[in-house]
Structure 1
Amino acid sequence: MSAETPVCQLLERQDADYRGWWWIAPPRDHWLETGEGCLVSADLSVRQAWLDRGRAAWSPFDSISAEAPGVVLFWPKAHALGEWWLLWLCAQLPEGTPLHLVGEHQGGIKRVLKVLAALGLGCRKLDSARRCSLFETRTARLPLDPDAVWTQFEAEGLNLASHPGVFGHGKLDEGTRLLLEQLPEVLPQGEVLDLGCGDGIIGAWMAREGRTVTATDVNAFAVEATRRSLAANQLEAEALESDVYSALEDRRFAAIVSNPPFHQERSIDYGPAARLIEQAAQHLLPGGRLLIVANAFLPYAEPLERSFGSFRVLADNGRFKVYLAER
């Protein structure tokens, strides 16, 4: 099967023997998923696609047993996250392991040259096509600890952990702030779900208010950030990796609260938010509430109307809207 994405099409035409290599943070692409080697990704949905095909797949927080004759790192939109992956790979793998870096020009792959130079890693360009570039270097012992990229910030009286690539990295998002302003009046008692938890601000706020909280995210970095945020504030809650509702089975909640994502790297992707809304009633108790905030231009009115019959706009500041729908 031929590669589908531009970055994989560039890799497909290489003479390199990629058998057994680690593929780090790649996009969904059947050419990769039906090939050889193993996956390391923070994205649960990507890992699950590989596992469903019987392929080896790990989170960066797992203990990885496979050896790596080489590594291909797909450079992310968040450059600080790309730098974390470089530090992590150099800490994990033997010195001198071949490392290829690939990415789209619009995604900033050309900045890799400066990043590698700053880390003291040599580099050469291997190929360029499909508005993508491929570079080659090798791992080395670096004096920097990958854990050093974790930062903390304060918002709403909470200390929050932050990691590159997690939504709202290092600051409270304006939409989330608007959502939190509405919650005191409309959040019911009982067990609540923070879906797409990011750095954990919504879940931690609800736990502080005495709710029993489950927090989920498809991104392993977000789940770890939420766990660290909860610990930093001496709060108790359950934090799980979940592709929307995949880890929750038939559990039901008094409320589902979310600032749902609509970006996948540089592309707009309404899929997760649409599933969140369409399947919400199945995970709400009778009378349970769905509370979401979204950019004002996003087309959420129709799926809310279709799934719940009606909804209310609790707040609209011109940039963001807070919606409430009841089962």
Structure 2
Amino acid sequence: MSAQLPACQLLERQQSDYTHHFAIAPPLDTWLVEHTLGAVSGDLNVVEAWDERGKLANSPFALSASFDRAVLFWPKALKLGIWWVEWLCETLPEETSLEIVGEHNGGIKRVPKVLEELGMACDKLDNARRCSLYATRTVKRASDAVQAAWQHFDALGLTLVSHPGVFGHGKLDEGTQLLLESLASRLPKVPRRILDMGCGDGIISAWLASKGHTVTAVDVSDFAVEATRRTLAANALEGRVLQSDVYSALDGETFDLIISNPPFHQERDVSYGPSQRLIQKAPEQLARGGQFIIVANGFLPYPALLESSFGSFEVLADNRRFRVYAASK
């Protein structure tokens, strides 16, 4: 099978044999899975795709494999790309071969300057499919460079810990703030079992836990999972945090309340798939009388999904940019 995605097509036309390379932060492409040794990614779906083919696959926070060749897929978020380069320099021996590939509209043209600032060589190997491919080698970096990417900031009386690439990095998202304002007068006074779906930096989970509720937080991104764990710890709060593709890790568990600011972007693409599954399967994950509350951009097509899944819903808040929807089982 040939590569489907432009960056993978650029690799496919190289004379290099990538079967000894680890793909770092890769997209989902069957050709890439078959033609690389393994993968490192914060995305659960990516890790599972390599694992299903019997390939080595890890999160960067739980690395158990060693490798001496890597190809990094440059992410849209510049600071996340820099973090991956620094992580590779810290994780791998000095002078390890590293290639970096990406689409022009995803910021790959910034790579030569980034590498220069990090004291790394840069050779351009190829340019096609509106993508570029660069080659470099790892260098010794300061031991705290990777940890320095974690950002602490205060919001709503809480200390939040965020990482490049995590939703709302470094600030309180407007939609999340509207959601929490709407919840303030509706939350039960007695503790409830609450699921925070798509937990991001953990602001919703920490806010709920601070009010005494039993919180389970999930996210498909291990960067978000790690951020939420750090946010809870920074505020001396308790909560269960799991990496999960929507409800996949919950094994049929039910909750009194499901709360979410669901994502609808994957890198530069709009994707409603996870949000659709979130809404469609919500009644199965709610206890009798349970509530489902989400915030979303006003233009997103969620009313029809809510109507189909719950029969009815209400709008708790609408500031013209975001709406907070609520439905009951």
TM-score normalised to structure 2 length: 0.97
Contact 2:194 2:213 (8 Å CA) reproduced? yes
- Alignment-derived partner of residue 297 in structure 1: 299
Amino acid at match of 2:300: L
Amino acid at match of 1:64: S
Q: Where in structure 2 are there 5+ consecutive unaligned residues? A: none
SS at match of 1:19: helix
Contact 1:187 1:255 (8 Å CA) reproduced? no
Aligned pair count?
326
- Alignment-derived partner of residue 140 in structure 2: 141
Distance 2:99 2:229 in 1: 32
Q: Where in structure 1 are there 5+ consecutive unaligned residues? A: none
> Equivalent pairs: percent with the same residue?
60
- Alignment-derived partner of residue 167 in structure 1: 167
- Alignment-derived partner of residue 252 in structure 2: 250
Asked if residue 259 in structure 1 is aligned to residue 251 in structure 2, the reply is: no
SS at match of 1:141: coil
Matches within 5 A, 1:1-327: 1-66=1-66, 68-143=67-142, 145-188=145-188, 189-327=191-329
TM-superposed deviation, 1:50: 1.6
SS at match of 2:20: coil
Distance 2:185 2:314 in 1: 14
Contact 2:68 2:92 (8 Å CA) reproduced? no
Amino acid at match of 2:16: A
TM-superposed deviation, 1:190: 1.3
Deviates more, 1:236-245 or 1:15-24: 15-24
Contact 2:192 2:213 (8 Å CA) reproduced? yes
Q: Deviations over 1:169-193 (max 9, x none)?
A: 0000000000000112223441000
TM-score normalised to structure 1 length: 0.98
Distance 1:63 1:83 in 2: 19
Contact 2:56 2:65 (8 Å CA) reproduced? no
Taking only aligned residues, the RMSD between alpha carbons, in angstroms, comes to 0.9
TM-superposed deviation, 1:34: 2.2
Distance 1:55 1:295 in 2: 38
Contact 2:120 2:137 (8 Å CA) reproduced? yes
Contact 2:22 2:36 (8 Å CA) reproduced? no
Q: Deviations over 1:105-134 (max 9, x none)?
A: 000100011110100101010001110000
Contact 2:25 2:39 (8 Å CA) reproduced? yes
Amino acid at match of 1:169: H
TM-superposed deviation, 1:69: 2.9
